[in-house]
Amino acid sequence: MNRNLPIEARRRRWLRMWWKRTAWHATVGATKALKRGLDIAVSLTLVLTLAPLFAVVAACIKITDRGPALYWQTRVGRHGREFAFPKFRSMVLDADRLWQQMLAQNDHADSVTFKMKRDPRTTWIGRLIRKLSIDELPQLWCVLRGDMSLVGPRPPLPAEVSRYSLADRRRLEVIPGLTCTWQVSGRGDIPFAEQVVLDVEYIRSRSLWLDIRLLLRTIPAVLLGRGAY
């Protein structure tokens, strides 16, 4: 603050700065509270509504493949915090062991992420639930717990984060989500570098209204199944 100004002018300037900071913190706090409220309301409604579907999918996986219905991974959330991440199991039981043998077939080439359009480890029911993103629905539990949000960058694997550049780590500045900009724009067809660009753009311009728009865009994206494999 310029000490050459009269005391009264300095006081007025300090009050303006204090008011701006207070208003900004209040706005940010209110936005976070509204986002969290939306997360809880929507995820709880979906869990209760889709409970019969969860039961049918779990039973189909158990009957056809004899293994556990859920597959648990460790994922990385905001500021590098790790958390348990469930999915309906869409692959054979020894998929993790086979993964090491298939790295050369990565459709994302020498990328941080691994994607295969025709992954031979996927079961027949796995292909179906992946196409419709049903395999991701158990993550609603993570939303209820607060580990995830409905909208935000997708949570990466620890092995992926270990390969992140400093710029890539900007994705970890916010709580990860079920859906995001690149999820509604092509999903697995979007290369990693472009995913980072879209995630950072979301972080810079995020708002409750943007979250609602992305949630609405997720519905046709899921139904069309583009990039889901």
Q: Spell out the long-range contacts of 69-77 with Cβ–Cβ below 8 A and sequence spacing 24 or more.
A: 70/138, 73/157, 74/157, 74/158, 75/155, 75/156, 75/157, 75/158, 75/176, 76/155, 76/156, 76/157, 76/158, 76/160, 76/161, 76/172, 76/176, 77/147, 77/148, 77/155, 77/172, 77/175, 77/176
Query: pLDDT tens, 45-96?
Result: 999 999 999 999 999 999 988 889 999 999 999 999 999 999 999 988 877 7
Greatest mean pLDDT range, 20-24, 38-42, 66-70, 182-186: 38-42
Of the ranges 10-19, 57-66, 187-196, which is most confident? 57-66
Whole-model pTM: value is 0.81
Q: Taking a C-beta distance cutoff of 8 angstroms, is the pair 135, 187 a contact?
A: no
pLDDT of residue 119: 78
pLDDT of 106 higher than 70: no
Mean pLDDT over 119-142 rounds to 91
Q: What is the reported pLDDT for 81?
A: 95
Strands (DSSP E) found in the chain: 70-76, 82-88, 149-151, 177-179
Q: How many residues does the chain have?
A: 229
Mean pLDDT, rounded, for 138-167: 95
Round to whole Å and give the CA distance between 106 and 111: 8
68 Cβ contact list (under 8 Å, min separation 6): 61, 62, 89
Residue-averaged pLDDT of the chain: 85
Given pLDDT bands bounded at 50, 70 and 90, which one contains residue 10? Answer: low
Compute the distance between CA of residue 80 and CA of residue 208 in angstroms, rounded to an integer. Answer: 24
- Of 19-23, 137-141, 217-221, give the range with the top mean pLDDT: 137-141
Residue at 91: amino acid letter: M
For the ranges 13-22, 60-69, 145-154, the maximum mean pLDDT occurs at: 145-154
Helix, strand or coil, per DSSP, at residue 6 = coil
